[in-house]
């Protein structure tokens, strides 16, 4: 399958052939505030999306509800922020009172937002919104080689944005871009505010969640029926490397689970950033796992963009660019597996 033949629903949204998932979620009537009701409605939403996409149901005849699945998600997310477990760290703190590992406050902060031309071809031009923290945070990882360390580790304080304010910014750029690209730092700690933003009004462009994929199961549930395209990183296959280079425990179990969930919830683009000296211990095993374990409408980006940033010079094994030979070997391995990939 050619790269232009995957991410099919995302492409259909761009052509105006099918609606955004979040707009369909607004038509699902919720009867009570509970996770059980959320799960029931999410299953119904999946069935409804299939009916719409197959032409059995006309979305234009469906009406928004006074209390919808999206409204329910907002309420559940606000509650979850009171004992935070948006990501798998599950700090359990009240975000209105304390800062967890990510150091992100309760009110979302945006480092920058602009029309981005540097993403994958099927994504650009993309309206990227870079979330950050207030003091010293902005991400639930501590990647020693982060190229956006000013955003993810807090030297860029950003600006507080109310959901209504951010929504108006999104609408102002909607005609110039293909999508809304939620990134960081890491967008996960602001799930409650992202959902509130999407609740403000109607959106026309697909929603992309651009993440390290370390969400909790409840975090993934909140995104189900909201995100049209998951843009997930897959950084390591060896948990020891994840702990050493990103300070992340139990990485592989969490990230493999979430990639599988994402592939069922929407379209999926997996970014595999090749690290120097990690071809056999991580990169090839990641590609092999994707081939064996993921189904659905997905695309893999085998990336050679790594460059040693921030604290990478303290780790000799990653203190260089990847070699041409390493990159070529990874690409040839992806070809051998028959993956749908770009490079």
> What pLDDT digit, counting tens, does each position of 17-33 carry?
999 999 999 999 999 99
DSSP assignment, residue 215? B
Q: What is the DSSP string of 257-326?
A: HHHHHHHHHSEEEEEEEPPTT-IIIIIHHHHHHHHHH--SSEEEEEE------TTGGG-GGGSSPPPHHH
**Poorest-pLDDT segment among 49-63, 100-114, 151-165, 242-256:** 151-165
> What pLDDT digit, counting tens, does each position of 46-95 carry?
999 999 999 999 999 999 999 999 999 999 999 999 999 999 999 999 99
| Residue 150 pLDDT > 90 | no
Q: Which pLDDT does position 330 carry in this prediction?
A: 98
| Residue 207 pLDDT > 70 | yes
Q: Which pLDDT does position 296 carry in this prediction?
A: 79
Rounded CA-CA distance 124/288 in Å is 28
Q: Which pLDDT does position 151 carry in this prediction?
A: 86
Question: Which residues have CB under 8 Å from 289's CB, separation 6+?
Answer: 237, 256
| Residue 156 pLDDT > 90 | no
Question: Which residues have CB under 8 Å from 229's CB, separation 6+?
Answer: 7, 10, 123, 179, 206, 207, 208, 209, 266, 267, 268, 269
Q: Per-residue confidence at 189, pLDDT binned at 50, 70, 90?
A: very high
Count the residues in the chain: 343
Q: Per-residue confidence at 200, pLDDT binned at 50, 70, 90?
A: very high
| Residue 152 pLDDT > 90 | no
Q: Which pLDDT does position 258 carry in this prediction?
A: 99
Q: Which helix (H) or strand (E) holds 230?
A: strand 229-233
Q: Could you give all domains of the chain from N- to C-terminal order, each with its CATH number?
A: 3-342 (3.20.20.70)
Q: Which pLDDT does position 137 carry in this prediction?
A: 80
> What pLDDT digit, counting tens, does each position of 166-184 carry?
999 999 999 999 999 999 9
| Residue 293 pLDDT > 90 | yes
Q: Per-residue confidence at 110, pLDDT binned at 50, 70, 90?
A: very high
| Residue 41 pLDDT > 80 | yes
pTM (whole model) above 0.95: yes
Rounded CA-CA distance 130/113 in Å is 6
Average pLDDT over residues 317-343: 97
CA dihedral 108, 112, 118, 120 (to 10 degrees): 10
> What pLDDT digit, counting tens, does each position of 295-321 carry?
878 999 999 999 999 999 999 999 999
Q: Which pLDDT does position 29 carry in this prediction?
A: 99
| Percentage of the chain exceeding pLDDT 70 | 98
| Residue 165 pLDDT > 90 | yes
């Amino acid at each position: 399958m050619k790269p232009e033949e995957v991410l099919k629903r995302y492409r259909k949204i761009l052509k105006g052939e099918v609606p955004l998932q979040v707009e369909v979620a607004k038509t699902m009537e919720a009867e009570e505030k509970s996770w059980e009701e959320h799960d029931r409605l999410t299953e119904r939403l999946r069935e409804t999306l299939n009916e719409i996409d197959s032409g059995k149901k006309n979305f234009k005849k469906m009406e928004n509800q006074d209390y919808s699945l999206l409204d329910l998600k907002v309420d559940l997310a606000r509650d979850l922020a009171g004992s935070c477990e948006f990501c798998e760290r599950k700090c359990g703190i009240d975000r209105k009172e304390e800062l967890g590992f990510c150091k992100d406050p309760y009110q979302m902060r945006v480092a920058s937002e602009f029309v981005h031309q540097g993403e994958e071809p099927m994504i650009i031009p993309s309206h990227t919104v870079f979330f950050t923290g207030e003091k010293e945070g902005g991400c639930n990882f501590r990647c020693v080689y982060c190229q956006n360390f000013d955003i993810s580790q807090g030297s860029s304080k950003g600006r507080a944005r109310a959901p209504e304010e951010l929504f108006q910014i999104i609408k102002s750029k909607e005609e110039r871009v293909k999508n809304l690209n939620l990134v960081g730092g890491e967008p996960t700690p602001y799930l409650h505010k992202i959902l509130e933003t999407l609740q403000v009004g109607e959106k026309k462009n697909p929603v992309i969640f651009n993440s390290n994929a370390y969400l909790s199961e409840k975090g993934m549930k909140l995104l189900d029926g909201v995100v049209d395209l998951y843009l997930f990183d897959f950084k390591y296959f060896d948990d020891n490397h994840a702990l050493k280079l990103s300070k992340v425990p139990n990485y592989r179990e969490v990230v493999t689970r979430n990639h599988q969930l994402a592939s069922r919830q929407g379209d999926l683009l997996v970014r595999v950033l090749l690290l120097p000296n990690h071809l056999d211990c991580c990169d090839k095993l990641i590609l092999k796992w994707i081939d064996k374990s993921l189904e659905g409408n997905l695309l893999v980006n085998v990336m050679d963009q790594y460059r040693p940033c921030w604290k990478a010079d303290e780790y000799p094994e990653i203190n260089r660019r990847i070699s041409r030979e390493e990159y070529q070997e990874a690409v040839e391995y992806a070809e051998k597996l028959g993956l749908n990939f770009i490079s």
